[in-house]
Chain A
Amino acid sequence: MLVTLLSGDKPRSAILTVLLLGVLICLAGAPFLFPGVRSLETAATICIFILLVASYDLLLGYTGIVSFAHTMFFGLGAYGVALSATHLGRGWGALVVGSLSGAIAAALLALVIGLFSLRVRAIFFAMITLAVASAVAVLVSQLFNITGGEDGLTYRIPRELTPAFRMGELFGVRLNGRILNYYLVFICCFLLFLFLLRVVNSPFGRVLQAIRENDFRAEAIGYRVVWYRTAATCLSAAIAALAGSLYAIWLRYVGPDTTLSFEIMLDILLMVVIGGMGTMYGAVLGAVIFVLAQNYLQALMGVAASATEGVPILPLFLDPNRWLLWLGLLFILSVYFFPTGIVGRLRAGR
């Protein structure tokens, strides 16, 4: 049963299995295991980023395409929910309409970009997505009448999903709409992740991997490489948009910084590479490690910076604002020495 649920793609490493189960249990029981507003925030962010990173892995790891527009698709989903919640009013219908239209818009945009750039050269895609994504980010911050500009949008979601909705107490934890909202996020992410596992282990996914290994040969065997690459792009974009919708439902706010910024794109890249490209499970580990590190290590850097105050130069490097410096270094080193990521290592060391 369980194997079927995972589409036959077993973790293939005892340690990995334990880690994944641990993550699953922690996330499933997060409101009860780690009560508190901040840890629930962290858990929800992890769920959403697992899904977002997994959808990116479909593109990068399984299809061998580098895209810089993943946050754009993520943002489309988020703004889809935000706009429909703003204009259609508070209600479940607005959330569904917003999510679906965001996903459809993302898939269509991905289709257009894919047909333009993948037809010629796969590397065009990286450059074109970078250009398009930044243009969209600029546009979003300029069209403030619609998008709220840099300030973003806040809106109301159904009361059942807000802290104001109370449902009593369980295991000493007060149940409220926030916890319900968390489970909405968790279950959606879990199901969509299983769906992605199914996709990469389907015949379609195998063709994608064949294309990644050798596109000429795949074309020669008779697969329309452009079609498959474009289809993977669209699927990945739609799921990224759904992740964005969930994020918007969770945060009750969208803005360019939380959904569209290039920095989030870098975060996603890093999570995929550290977790392990082309493994799906890598997305889980990558997102967990990264989000935890981001939340807690930056604070540690601040402590280290003030501790080394007397030393010349060093505090400059340890400043929490230099977080990206270390990420960048880590990123380069992982691509060189650790290209299969944590999952690849664990599987190889079995």
Chain B
Amino acid sequence: MTAAPDHAPTMTRASLFHRLGQAAPVLLVPILILAGFLAIGAPSSWLTLTVSGLAMGMMIFVMASGLTLVFGLMDVINFGHGAFISLGAFVGISVLLALSGWTEAPSLVLNLAAILLAIAAAMVLTGAVGWGFERVIVRPVYGAHLKQILVTVGGLIVVEQLIHVIWGPDEIFLNRPETLQGAITFAGAALEKYRILAVALGLAIFLAMRLVLRRTKIGLIVRAGVQNGQMVESLGYRLRLVFIGVFVAGSALAGLGGVMWGLYQGVITAGMGERMMILVFIVVIIGGLGSVEGAFIGALLVGLMQNYIAFLEPKLALVSNIGLMTAILMWRPQGMMPVVKAK
């Protein structure tokens, strides 16, 4: 009736090994930061680059998180995810331009209020469009990867072109809100205020997401569904509804990422989402499809790598991320933190 004697030792051994395996990807981030320090030499440049790398990583993570969960839950690969990034940016920036009275005022409260409004508008709209996208574009092609890729690419083009129709063919330039312009100096390094805000916002979103995934029942359903959707349904949960929810939330997050990225770059184009998708895919692949934590670490690695290399050898920035992906896939062909599929 009791546990057989060999149970306990098996447990500890597996656990220790498991923990090491879990920790290795996490350790990559400080290792890369350290390597950056050694390669760059100048501490102040290194600090500036690290902060901007982290900021970039956080933003990519916000964009990638929904995509990886959508894939994990329903095996749906959405190449149209980039459309939500662009759309979010255009909606958010339009709101900011309309609120120019608030953004130009030298008041942090008014500036942040404008940004929050912009983010809210972008997320609501991209969430709604995501809902429609799921119904019209994705639902008819469940279970067929080839068609999914083709159809979602088609959806990406259509949304991008509609942005052109609505907002015109040209890129839109914008200024960051008054109090978020410029940089603060810390330890001799110039740290842009907006990047610090982006890091804080990205981190908050990651932690909130983790909290939801770990501490709420809906989070448990999502995590369990990524591993074995059929079993979740056999326990009585309607996974389809959960999936739609995740799709909408993921689209809204992509929209948020778009706003953040637009403010970061100071310019938005309809094609920005498409270009970001390249980094997003790299992040999702090296993180392990379906893993939020993996995507987070992957995004930080990509952001840091991009910034360090752009400083050291500008021409190789994007290629360096391909190199990163190659190296990680050689180490772990399924990505850093692959989700254990029980199927």
The answer to whether A and B touch in the complex, with CB atoms under 8 Å apart, is yes
Using a CB–CB cutoff of 8 Å, the interface residues on chain A facing chain B are: 60, 64, 66, 116-117, 119-124, 126-128, 130-132, 134-135, 138-139, 142-143, 262, 266, 269, 273, 316-317, 321-322, 324-325, 327-329, 331-332, 335-336, 339
Q: If the complex has contacts A131-B282, A336-B140, are A120 and B147 also in contact, measured as CB distance less than 8 A?
A: no
| CB contact between A139 and one of B160, B289, B318 (< 8 Å): that residue | B318
For A116, the chain B residues whose CB sits under 8 A away are: 326, 329-330
Q: If the complex has contacts A124-B285, A139-B318, A328-B158, are A130 and B278 also in contact, measured as CB distance less than 8 A?
A: yes
Interface residues of B in 124-162 (CB under 8 A from A): 137, 140-141, 145-147, 149-151, 153-158, 160-162
Tell me whether B325 and A332 are in contact (CB under 8 A): no
Tell me whether B325 and A123 are in contact (CB under 8 A): no
For B137, the chain A residues whose CB sits under 8 A away are: 332
Q: Report if B315 contacts A (CB, 8 A).
A: yes
Q: If the complex has contacts A128-B285, A130-B278, are A135 and B153 also in contact, measured as CB distance less than 8 A?
A: no
Secondary structure dominating the interface of B: helix
Q: If the complex has contacts A116-B329, A130-B277, are A123 and B157 also in contact, measured as CB distance less than 8 A?
A: no
User: Could you tell me the distance between the alpha carbons of A322 and B112 in the complex, rounded to whole angstroms?
Assistant: 36
Q: Report if B333 contacts A (CB, 8 A).
A: yes
Interface residue total, chain B, C-beta cutoff 8 A: 44
For A135, the chain B residues whose CB sits under 8 A away are: 278, 318-319, 321-322
Q: Report if B284 contacts A (CB, 8 A).
A: yes
Name the residue of chain B whose CB is nearest to the CB of A272.
B150
| CB contact between A120 and one of B274, B281, B321, B334 (< 8 Å): that residue | B334
Name the residue of chain B whose CB is nearest to the CB of A317.
B165
Name the residue of chain B whose CB is nearest to the CB of A316.
B165
Tell me whether A66 and B146 are in contact (CB under 8 A): yes
- Complex interface bits, B299-318 against A, C-beta within 8 A gives 1, otherwise 0: 00000000000000011001
For A317, the chain B residues whose CB sits under 8 A away are: 165
For B153, the chain A residues whose CB sits under 8 A away are: 266, 269, 331
Tell me whether A325 and B158 are in contact (CB under 8 A): yes
- Complex interface bits, B318-341 against A, C-beta within 8 A gives 1, otherwise 0: 110110011001100110000000
Q: Report if B77 contacts A (CB, 8 A).
A: yes
Q: If the complex has contacts A134-B318, A332-B151, A336-B151, are A126 and B77 also in contact, measured as CB distance less than 8 A?
A: yes
Q: If the complex has contacts A131-B325, A134-B278, A143-B315, are A64 and B285 also in contact, measured as CB distance less than 8 A?
A: no
- Complex interface bits, B86-130 against A, C-beta within 8 A gives 1, otherwise 0: 000000000000000000000000000000000000000000000
For A117, the chain B residues whose CB sits under 8 A away are: 329
For B326, the chain A residues whose CB sits under 8 A away are: 116
Name the residue of chain A whose CB is nearest to the CB of B156.
A328
| CB contact between B162 and one of A128, A325, A339 (< 8 Å): that residue | A325
Q: If the complex has contacts A120-B333, A120-B334, are A335 and B165 also in contact, measured as CB distance less than 8 A?
A: no
Q: Report if B169 contacts A (CB, 8 A).
A: yes
Name the residue of chain B whose CB is nearest to the CB of A136.
B319
Tell me whether B157 and A327 are in contact (CB under 8 A): yes
Q: If the complex has contacts A120-B333, A143-B315, A339-B147, are A332 and B155 also in contact, measured as CB distance less than 8 A?
A: yes
User: Could you tell me the distance between the alpha carbons of A103 and B276 in the complex, rounded to whole angstroms?
Assistant: 30
For A66, the chain B residues whose CB sits under 8 A away are: 145-146, 149-150
Report, nearest first, the 7 A-B pairs whose CB atoms are least far apart: A328-B157, A325-B161, A332-B154, A331-B154, A127-B281, A328-B158, A142-B315
Name the residue of chain B whose CB is nearest to the CB of A266.
B157
Q: If the complex has contacts A322-B161, A328-B157, A332-B155, are A138 and B318 also in contact, measured as CB distance less than 8 A?
A: yes
Q: If the complex has contacts A130-B281, A135-B321, A135-B322, are A123 and B77 also in contact, measured as CB distance less than 8 A?
A: yes
Tell me whether A325 and B165 are in contact (CB under 8 A): yes
Tell me whether B164 and A321 are in contact (CB under 8 A): yes
| CB contact between A322 and one of B164, B289, B321 (< 8 Å): that residue | B164
17 A-B pairs in the complex with CB atoms less than 8 angstroms apart: A66-B145, A116-B326, A117-B329, A120-B333, A121-B289, A124-B285, A126-B77, A128-B281, A128-B285, A135-B318, A138-B319, A139-B315, A269-B150, A321-B169, A328-B157, A335-B151, A336-B140
Name the residue of chain B whose CB is nearest to the CB of A60.
B146
Tell me whether A127 and B285 are in contact (CB under 8 A): yes
User: Could you tell me the distance between the alpha carbons of A93 and B160 in the complex, rounded to whole angstroms?
Assistant: 45
Name the residue of chain B whose CB is nearest to the CB of A325.
B161
Name the residue of chain B whose CB is nearest to the CB of A127.
B281
User: Could you tell me the distance between the alpha carbons of A329 and B137 in the complex, rounded to whole angstroms?
Assistant: 11
Q: Which of A124, A321, A322, A332: most chain B Cβ within 10 A?
A: A332
User: Could you tell me the distance between the alpha carbons of A143 and B334 in the complex, rounded to whole angstroms?
Assistant: 33
For B141, the chain A residues whose CB sits under 8 A away are: 335-336
User: Could you tell me the distance between the alpha carbons of A119 and B146 in the complex, rounded to whole angstroms?
Assistant: 17
User: Could you tell me the distance between the alpha carbons of A316 and B285 in the complex, rounded to whole angstroms?
Assistant: 38
Separation in Å of the A123 CB from the closest CB of chain B? 5
User: Could you tell me the distance between the alpha carbons of A262 and B153 in the complex, rounded to whole angstroms?
Assistant: 11
User: Could you tell me the distance between the alpha carbons of A117 and B146 in the complex, rounded to whole angstroms?
Assistant: 16
Separation in Å of the A57 CB from the closest CB of chain B? 13
User: Could you tell me the distance between the alpha carbons of A180 and B156 in the complex, rounded to whole angstroms?
Assistant: 42
User: Could you tell me the distance between the alpha carbons of A139 and B317 in the complex, rounded to whole angstroms?
Assistant: 9
User: Could you tell me the distance between the alpha carbons of A331 and B160 in the complex, rounded to whole angstroms?
Assistant: 14
User: Could you tell me the distance between the alpha carbons of A68 and B285 in the complex, rounded to whole angstroms?
Assistant: 16
Name the residue of chain A whose CB is nearest to the CB of B155.
A332
Separation in Å of the A269 CB from the closest CB of chain B? 7
Separation in Å of the B141 CB from the closest CB of chain A? 8
Name the residue of chain B whose CB is nearest to the CB of A134.
B278
For B334, the chain A residues whose CB sits under 8 A away are: 120
User: Could you tell me the distance between the alpha carbons of A120 and B334 in the complex, rounded to whole angstroms?
Assistant: 7
Name the residue of chain A whose CB is nearest to the CB of B164.
A322
Separation in Å of the B104 CB from the closest CB of chain A? 31
User: Could you tell me the distance between the alpha carbons of A126 and B78 in the complex, rounded to whole angstroms?
Assistant: 11
